[in-house]
A and B are shown apart, each in its own frame.
Chain A
Amino acid sequence: MSALNQVLLHPQQRVGADFAAWRAAGGGEGLRAALGATPAQLIEMIRDAGLRGLGGSGYPAYRKWESLAAQRASGDRYLIVNGNEDEPGTFKDRILLAETPHQVIEGAAICAVACDINHIVFYINPDQDAALASMRDAVVQWQDSDLYTALAEHLRRPVELRVMASSGHYIGGEETAAIESVEGKFPFPRRKPPYPAEAGVHGLPTLVNNTETLANVPHIMRNGVAWYRGLGRGAAAGTKIYCLSGDVLRPGAYELPMGTPLQELIFEHGGGMLVGMKLKAIFTGGPSNTILTPADLDVPLDFDSVAERRSALGTGAMIVVSEGTGIVKRVTEYVNFFADNSCGQCPACKTGTYYISRLLSRIDTGHGSRSDLDTLVSLSQLLPGAGRCHLLDGAVKVLDSSLYHFGSEYEKAIAPRNNR
Chain B
Amino acid sequence: MTQGISYSDALAAYAPCELREPAVDDITTEALLRAFHPDHIAGSMTQLRIGANAGDTCHTELAQLLQSDGRIDEADLAGAETLETDVLVIGGGGAGCAAALTAVKCGARVMLATKLRVGDSNTVMAEGGIQASVEKGDTPQMHFEDTIRGGHHHVDRPLAAQMVMDGPDVVRWLIQQGMQFDVDKYGDLLTRRAGGTSAARVVYFRDYTGLEMMRVLREAVRNSNIDVLDYSPTVELLSNEHGHCAGAVISSLKSCSYTLVKAKAVVLATGGIGRMHLNGFPTSNHFGATGDGLVLAYRLGARLCDLDSFQYHPSGLAYPQHLAGTLITEGVRSAGAYLLNAHGERFVDELMPRDHVAAAIIRECREGRGICVNDDSVGVWLDTPGLEMRDPGILQARFPKLLQLGRKAQVDLAQKPMLIYPTLHYQNGGVVIDVHGRSTVPGLYCIGEVTGGIHGKNRLMGNSLLEIISFGRRAGRHAAEHAHDRPHTKISIEHLSDLRRALTLAGLPMNQEGPLLFPKYAKFDSDSDYDGLHRSRKE
Do B75 and A323 touch (CB < 8 A)? yes
Do B75 and A333 touch (CB < 8 A)? no
Contacts of A249 in B (CB 8 A): 501, 504-505
Query: What residue of chain A has the Cβ atom nearest to residue B260's Cβ?
Result: A365
Contacts of B73 in A (CB 8 A): 324-325
Across the A-B interface, give the 8 residue pairs with the lowest CB-CB distance, nearest first: A324-B73, A326-B78, A324-B75, A366-B79, A325-B74, A275-B500, A274-B500, A365-B82
Query: What residue of chain B has the Cβ atom nearest to residue A326's Cβ?
Result: B78
Do A247 and B497 touch (CB < 8 A)? yes
Q: Is A358 an interface residue (CB 8 A)?
A: no
With contacts A364-B78, A412-B79 known, what are 9 further pairs, Cβ within 8 A?
A325-B73, A325-B75, A326-B75, A326-B78, A333-B492, A340-B489, A365-B81, A366-B79, A413-B79
9 A–B contacts, CB within 8 A, in A order: A249-B504, A274-B504, A324-B74, A324-B75, A326-B79, A340-B489, A365-B80, A412-B79, A417-B79
Do A420 and B79 touch (CB < 8 A)? yes
Give min CB distance, B253 to chain A, whole Å: 17
Give min CB distance, B485 to chain A, whole Å: 16
Q: Is A336 an interface residue (CB 8 A)?
A: yes
Interface residues of B, dominant DSSP? mixed
Query: What residue of chain A has the Cβ atom nearest to residue B78's Cβ?
Result: A326
Q: Is B183 an interface residue (CB 8 A)?
A: no
User: B residues bordering A, Cβ < 8 Å?
Assistant: 69, 73-75, 77-82, 489-490, 492, 497, 500-501, 503-505, 510
Do B79 and A333 touch (CB < 8 A)? no
Do A364 and B79 touch (CB < 8 A)? yes
Scan A317-350; emit 1 where CB is below 8 A from any B CB, else 0: 0000001111011000100110010000000000
Contacts of A328 in B (CB 8 A): 78
Complex Cα–Cα for A104 and B79 (A): 46
Contacts of A251 in B (CB 8 A): 501
Query: What residue of chain B has the Cβ atom nearest to residue A323's Cβ?
Result: B75
Query: What residue of chain B has the Cβ atom nearest to residue A367's Cβ?
Result: B81
We find that the number of chain A residues with CB closer than 8 angstroms to chain B is 25
Query: What residue of chain B has the Cβ atom nearest to residue A329's Cβ?
Result: B78
Contacts of A250 in B (CB 8 A): 501, 505
A residues 40-72 touching B (CB-CB < 8 Å): none
Do A329 and B81 touch (CB < 8 A)? no
Contacts of A333 in B (CB 8 A): 490, 492
Contacts of A412 in B (CB 8 A): 78-79
Complex Cα–Cα for A70 and B80 (A): 58
Complex Cα–Cα for A250 and B80 (A): 29
Give min CB distance, A168 to chain B, whole Å: 14
Do A329 and B74 touch (CB < 8 A)? yes
Complex Cα–Cα for A259 and B503 (A): 32
Partner of A336, one of B77, B489, B504: B489
Give min CB distance, A46 to chain B, whole Å: 37
Contacts of A325 in B (CB 8 A): 73-75
Contacts of A366 in B (CB 8 A): 79-81
Complex Cα–Cα for A281 and B500 (A): 19
Complex Cα–Cα for A337 and B489 (A): 8
Query: What residue of chain B has the Cβ atom nearest to residue A420's Cβ?
Result: B79
Give min CB distance, B257 to chain A, whole Å: 8
Complex Cα–Cα for A337 and B501 (A): 26
Query: What residue of chain B has the Cβ atom nearest to residue A246's Cβ?
Result: B497
Give min CB distance, B72 to chain A, whole Å: 9
Contacts of B74 in A (CB 8 A): 324-326, 329
Do B78 and A274 touch (CB < 8 A)? no
Contacts of B490 in A (CB 8 A): 333, 336-337
Complex Cα–Cα for A251 and B77 (A): 24
Partner of A413, one of B75, B78, B497, B510: B78
Query: What residue of chain A has the Cβ atom nearest to residue B72's Cβ?
Result: A324
Complex Cα–Cα for A179 and B80 (A): 43
Do A275 and B510 touch (CB < 8 A)? yes
Complex Cα–Cα for A337 and B497 (A): 21
Complex Cα–Cα for A251 and B74 (A): 18
Complex Cα–Cα for A409 and B492 (A): 19
Complex Cα–Cα for A247 and B500 (A): 9
Q: Which of A251, A275, A340 lies at the interface centre, i.e. has the most chain B CB atoms within 10 A of its CB?
A: A275
Give min CB distance, B84 to chain A, whole Å: 11
Give min CB distance, B36 to chain A, whole Å: 42
Contacts of A340 in B (CB 8 A): 489
Give min CB distance, A378 to chain B, whole Å: 23
Contacts of B500 in A (CB 8 A): 274-275
Give min CB distance, B537 to chain A, whole Å: 9
Complex Cα–Cα for A328 and B504 (A): 28
Complex Cα–Cα for A420 and B504 (A): 33
Contacts of B82 in A (CB 8 A): 365
Partner of B497, one of A274, A364, A365, A417: A274
Do A326 and B501 touch (CB < 8 A)? no
Q: Which of A251, A366, A412 lies at the interface centre, i.e. has the most chain B CB atoms within 10 A of its CB?
A: A366
Contacts of B489 in A (CB 8 A): 336-337, 340
Complex Cα–Cα for A406 and B376 (A): 60
Contacts of A420 in B (CB 8 A): 79
Contacts of A364 in B (CB 8 A): 78-79
A residues 219-274 touching B (CB-CB < 8 Å): 246-247, 249-251, 274
Complex Cα–Cα for A249 and B75 (A): 19
Complex Cα–Cα for A348 and B458 (A): 65
On whether A326 and B504 interact (CB within 8 A), knowing A247-B497, A274-B497, A275-B510, the answer reads no
Give min CB distance, A292 to chain B, whole Å: 19
Query: What residue of chain A has the Cβ atom nearest to residue B76's Cβ?
Result: A324
Contacts of A365 in B (CB 8 A): 79-82
Query: What residue of chain A has the Cβ atom nearest to residue B73's Cβ?
Result: A324
Contacts of A337 in B (CB 8 A): 489-490
Complex Cα–Cα for A325 and B497 (A): 11
Scan A352-394; emit 1 where CB is below 8 A from any B CB, else 0: 0000000000001110000000000000000000000000000
Contacts of B501 in A (CB 8 A): 249-251, 274
Contacts of A326 in B (CB 8 A): 74-75, 77-79
Complex Cα–Cα for A193 and B77 (A): 46
Give min CB distance, B247 to chain A, whole Å: 14
Scan A102-117; emit 1 where CB is below 8 A from any B CB, else 0: 0000000000000000
Give min CB distance, A235 to chain B, whole Å: 35
Give min CB distance, A20 to chain B, whole Å: 36
Contacts of B510 in A (CB 8 A): 275
Complex Cα–Cα for A270 and B93 (A): 45
Complex Cα–Cα for A185 and B78 (A): 42
Give min CB distance, B509 to chain A, whole Å: 11
Scan A196-237; emit 1 where CB is below 8 A from any B CB, else 0: 000000000000000000000000000000000000000000
Contacts of A246 in B (CB 8 A): 497
Give min CB distance, B524 to chain A, whole Å: 22
Contacts of A336 in B (CB 8 A): 489-490
Query: What residue of chain B has the Cβ atom nearest to residue A336's Cβ?
Result: B489
Complex Cα–Cα for A417 and B255 (A): 12
Query: What residue of chain B has the Cβ atom nearest to residue A272's Cβ?
Result: B504
Give min CB distance, B492 to chain A, whole Å: 8
Q: Which of B73, B79, B497, B504 lies at the interface centre, i.e. has the most chain A CB atoms within 10 A of its CB?
A: B79
A residues 273-297 touching B (CB-CB < 8 Å): 274-275
Complex Cα–Cα for A88 and B490 (A): 12
Complex Cα–Cα for A312 and B77 (A): 30
Complex Cα–Cα for A326 and B78 (A): 6
Give min CB distance, B538 to chain A, whole Å: 11
Give min CB distance, A344 to chain B, whole Å: 17
On whether A275 and B75 interact (CB within 8 A), knowing A365-B81, A365-B82, the answer reads no
Complex Cα–Cα for A420 and B69 (A): 26
Give min CB distance, A50 to chain B, whole Å: 36
Contacts of A247 in B (CB 8 A): 497
Give min CB distance, B74 to chain A, whole Å: 5
A residues 399-414 touching B (CB-CB < 8 Å): 409, 412-413
Give min CB distance, A329 to chain B, whole Å: 6
Contacts of B503 in A (CB 8 A): 275
Give min CB distance, A126 to chain B, whole Å: 15
Contacts of B497 in A (CB 8 A): 246-247, 274
Contacts of B505 in A (CB 8 A): 249-250
